[in-house]
Structure 1
Amino acid sequence: MEKPSEVFDRDREWSALVRFATDDRPGATLGVVSGRRRQGKTFLLDALCRASAGFYFGATEATDIESLRRIGRALTEYAAPPGPHHFQDWTEVLDTLLALGEERPVTVVIDEFPYLVKANPELPSIIQQAFGPLRDRRRRSRTRLLLCGSAMSFMGRLLGGGAPLRGRAGLELVIRPLDHRAAAEFWGLTDPRLALAVNAVVGGTPAYRNEFVRGDTPRDMEDFDAWVTRTVLNPETPLFREPRYLLTEEPDIRDPALYLAVLSAVAEGNATRGGMAGYLERRATDIAHPINVLEDAGLLHREVDAFRDNRSTYRISEPLIGFYQVIMRPVWDQLERPGAAERVWQASRRRFVSNVLGPRFEQVCREWALHHADPELFGGLPSRVTHGAVNDPTERVSREVDVAVAGLPDGNRLSLLAIGEAKWNEPMGMGHLARLERIRELIARGGRYDTSHTRLLCFGGAGFAEGLRERAGRPGSDVALIGPEDLYRAG
């Protein structure tokens, strides 16, 4: 099946879905598709059903009886049986869905599956029984059933541990936000600095461009400030309240105020569990559950320090929530009043650059190093890219490493392919290079990493001094300069 032209990007996801849907082997199969709201899951699955003449059912918040009636009407319209379907329970529904695939592979999509389970918690067990390996109806059928949901914490548990559906699924697909390159293309942005600035606000969620701001994109960097005030800071746009709604959509989040406070602590630079606890004036054990739920929901991401395994830091995964925490939440009452957006933005512009855009630039640099950079740049394939801190006993300081590129392990020693520093609004010079050389020397003394071929990376959003360019341009230099245009260059 050819991917419909209206589906942007998602080539990998489409190929996986097509392979699942067109599998001609006997035996019904089950797949699970998840992803946060606004990522285009429904659009993608609906396109799959249309291309394969499959059956799509979108669940809603309803009682179990209401949902049985709705799916009965939908199946009657789809299959046109001699008489209308009137289901008494979900076992009958599953038998009917399996019967659809008795002559050919048939794609069946049940979207927003968590709504159905909320009304009937036994539903996963009923599906487990229907898809039992020895059940005759399942073996005769070639129904390709896809369960889809936006509640990430729920969907993550659906196939895990001792869950009823563990071991039953032949596909587990997560629809993630677009990466920085695809997002720039989707928004129609060709200026890499502008693309990074927009990405720091709205990330890679496709729905934000068309449905939430009605195709309004900044023309250039000069229009960026005005674009922020007329979109995300404008109470008349859906984007204005979206960060708050993202939390309330997760069923495991029952006290949004506490979860917002945890995110606020991270946004303010308190990235460790102890730092968050101190910021909130609570014990670390009190916030363990909210942290775990935010991780499961895909809103918070934990990263292990590259140089200290016993130290982890957290970052906000969704840029719009990070923007909200830093810029909007502290002045929410002001922003709700008409005409306040420009005044608030002018007062917050510097804070945006240092607390939102700068950290987002660092994260994009790490993602580029892991997923897009030519391995030749590092002299090997990266196995992990993260950040970390190195103690300098002479100066009695802890030196931060924005980008640490680890290679594949060789025996008991790890290969450190590269370390890098990222500066968005500050031209990089020889002082930054000297700092990286000092850090590499300290790492070598520690003995954990092999640094004999460690390269030094300077990620500069505001350019590079001539002396640094000259050093990087020498034959066989161990220094590489990466600007915004390199992060967006295909290859």
Structure 2
Amino acid sequence: MATLARPVGMFDREFEWEALARFALDAGTGAALGVVSGRRRQGKTFLLRALCEATGGFYFGSDEATDGESLRRVGAALAERLGAPAPLAVDDWYPVFDALLDLGRDRPVPVVIDEFPYLVRANPRLPSIVQNVLAPRRAQRDASRARLLLCGSAMSFMGGLLAGSAPLRGRAGLELVVPTLDHQLAARFWGIDDPVTALKVNAIVGGTPAYRREFARDDVPAGPGDFDAWVTRTVLSPTSALFREGRYLLSDEPDLRDTALYHSVLAAIAEGNATRGGIASYLGRKSGDLAHPLTVLADCGLITREPDAFRDNRTQFRIAEPLVTFYHAVMRPMWADLEHARDSRRLAQLWRIGQRRFVGNVLGPHFEQVCRYWTAHLAAPERIGAALVSRVTSGVVSDPSARASHQLDVVAFGFDEDDQGHERLLAIGEAKWGETMGLAHVDRLRRIRELLSAQGRPGADTARLVCFSAAGFGESLVTAAAQSPDVLLVGPSDLYTGN
């Protein structure tokens, strides 16, 4: 199969580009459907425009408009593509899609409709129309090799486009989700070499590419000593595009009606209430009342559900977008003061007030999440103790004799090549952002390992004990770890190498 050279200026996205190129250049007969989704500002439009430029494809960017205006716009775009002297006059989408399929009559060609949810909001029939246009044994579909790509940022809508009994269920030959950059890629993209500074920046802006280019206008911390000033000038300043972004992300989702309720749910999670009961208590509501808002926020990709490693009936909810956590934990409590701050001195004062919440409610939980991600996807297998890590989560272990429970920040399960599909416990770990870890932390992990072994957990006897710390390790712990193959110490630099 032919390949496409990656566009100049594209950072990473090799996997996504190869998937799109493979789909667009597929020489098979018959039109095909692909669906591309992902949160805003991840580079979907850049990818799709570049794909069309490289292949001579057709790109149409939808607007929030009435159905009639959208039909006029797509008619004009098609006329320009075909070299017609006047815009095509169309009053229905069936002839539009037939014309789009005709673009692929002679060769495979991508046909992109970006922000498809805008069109559907004005005309809910569109998914059914696409279904009928792409029906098997339909002449226009069979004679075309158009590769129709529907793209959107409304995650709840796009997630349902191919689900259940949706009209397009079973029609797509490609379903691509463009994710945010992980912490290692984000550090490279921002050009930050110091791992602690990279972690701090990542805890605020995550891995969204546009936050550096368009929002911060390439303003990057010059070093560890510039981080606080960078926060005040690029995130907390009322004149910065990043200032209101944490509030606006909710408005990107059309299914969110009661935004006050959703903001309150996110605020509860940002305050450290990770269970449904904890969120309900924070809001003064019954736990059962939160089923719908939690489901909607999860469908939108704004929160994730993380099952407890050892308790099937316990789930932790976490905010998926760091900037939303930062907004609710740090900015929202002093929003009026931030809005009216008119000089850098005042912003610096407010940031000093907010730093305690930043460390406790943002940095600490984010560091734990980065440690879980590193363990699951980036760590060298021999460090964790298996050829394949199957899942990494957090968990609570009961200690009946002490009438206590122990929280584990990292719990890794996996397989060896000879495990014959039987999952076993690989490692348990604790993550501390601002605390130098010592022998007491390893002793605690050993006690928890004994409890798990007594419960009969497969692999508990040999599970590795992992200490993650951004502040470093005491000399006695470093000496003990060098002599104990079951103890692993992971610092900030390790999180950025995977070794």
Whether the TM-score (by the shorter chain) exceeds 0.5 is yes
**Equivalence for 1:117:** 120
Q: Which amino acid aligns with 2:407?
A: E
Q: Does 1:30 align with 2:33?
A: yes
CA contact (8 A) 1:458 1:481 kept: yes
Shift of 1:348: 1.4
Q: Does 1:349 align with 2:355?
A: yes
Q: Which amino acid aligns with 2:239?
A: E
Q: Percent identity?
A: 60
Query: Within 2, Cα distance between the matches of 1:167 and 1:255?
Result: 33
CA contact (8 A) 1:268 1:326 kept: yes
- Out of 385, 392, 409, the residue aligned to residue 392 of structure 2 is 385
- Alpha-carbon deviations, 1:394-413, whole Å to 9, x = none? 22221110100011395796
Query: Within 1, Cα distance between the matches of 2:164 and 2:397?
Result: 37
Q: Which amino acid aligns with 1:215?
A: D
**Equivalence for 1:75:** 78
Q: 1:489 to 1:411 in 2, by over 3 A?
A: closer
CA contact (8 A) 2:195 2:493 kept: yes
- Out of 216, 238, 251, the residue aligned to residue 235 of structure 1 is 238
CA contact (8 A) 1:471 1:477 kept: no
CA contact (8 A) 1:413 1:450 kept: no
**Equivalence for 1:462:** 471
SS at match of 1:239: coil
Query: Within 2, Cα distance between the matches of 1:411 and 1:143?
Result: 44
Matches within 5 A, 1:217-366: 217-337=220-340, 338-339=342-343, 340-366=346-372
Greater alpha carbon shift after TM alignment, 281-290 vs 93-102: 281-290
Q: Does 1:404 align with 2:404?
A: no
Query: Within 1, Cα distance between the matches of 2:6 and 2:459?
Result: 45
SS at match of 1:387: strand
Query: Within 1, Cα distance between the matches of 2:80 and 2:421?
Result: 63
SS at match of 1:109: strand
Matches within 5 A, 1:129-140: 129-140=132-143
Q: Which runs of 5+ in 1 are unaligned?
A: none
Q: Which amino acid aligns with 1:71?
A: V
Q: Does 1:373 align with 2:382?
A: no
CA contact (8 A) 1:108 1:145 kept: yes
**Equivalence for 2:431:** 422
**Equivalence for 1:477:** 485
Query: Within 1, Cα distance between the matches of 2:239 and 2:81?
Result: 39
Runs of 4+ residues over 4 Å off in structure 1: 409-413
- Alpha-carbon deviations, 1:212-271, whole Å to 9, x = none? 111111111111011101111000011000011100110011111110000011111111
Shift of 1:385: 0.3
SS at match of 1:419: strand
TM-score for the superposition, normalised by structure 1: 0.98
**Equivalence for 1:443:** 452
Query: Within 1, Cα distance between the matches of 2:326 and 2:87?
Result: 51
Q: Which runs of 5+ in 2 are unaligned?
A: none
Query: Within 2, Cα distance between the matches of 1:344 and 1:7?
Result: 37
**Equivalence for 1:394:** 401
When the two chains are superposed, the root-mean-square deviation of aligned CA atoms in Å is 1.3
Shift of 1:460: 1.3
Query: Within 2, Cα distance between the matches of 1:284 and 1:311?
Result: 13
Query: Within 2, Cα distance between the matches of 1:305 and 1:490?
Result: 25
| Aligned residue pair count | 490
- Alpha-carbon deviations, 1:302-348, whole Å to 9, x = none? 00000111100101000000000100001111110123421111011
Query: Within 1, Cα distance between the matches of 2:331 and 2:490?
Result: 32
Query: Within 2, Cα distance between the matches of 1:385 and 1:346?
Result: 35
Matches within 5 A, 1:29-68: 29-68=32-71
Q: Which amino acid aligns with 2:247?
A: R
Q: 1:83 to 1:325 in 2, by over 3 A?
A: closer
Q: Which amino acid aligns with 1:478?
A: D
Matches within 5 A, 1:150-169: 150-169=153-172
CA contact (8 A) 2:76 2:86 kept: no
Query: Within 2, Cα distance between the matches of 1:378 and 1:146?
Result: 40
Shift of 1:449: 3.1
- Alpha-carbon deviations, 1:110-147, whole Å to 9, x = none? 00000000010000000000111121211111000100
- Alpha-carbon deviations, 1:265-297, whole Å to 9, x = none? 111111111111111001122221111111011
Shift of 1:7: 1.2
- Out of 9, 17, 22, the residue aligned to residue 19 of structure 1 is 22
Shift of 1:82: 6.6
Shift of 1:414: 3.7
Q: 1:231 to 1:25 in 2, by over 3 A?
A: same
CA contact (8 A) 2:375 2:384 kept: no
SS at match of 1:452: helix
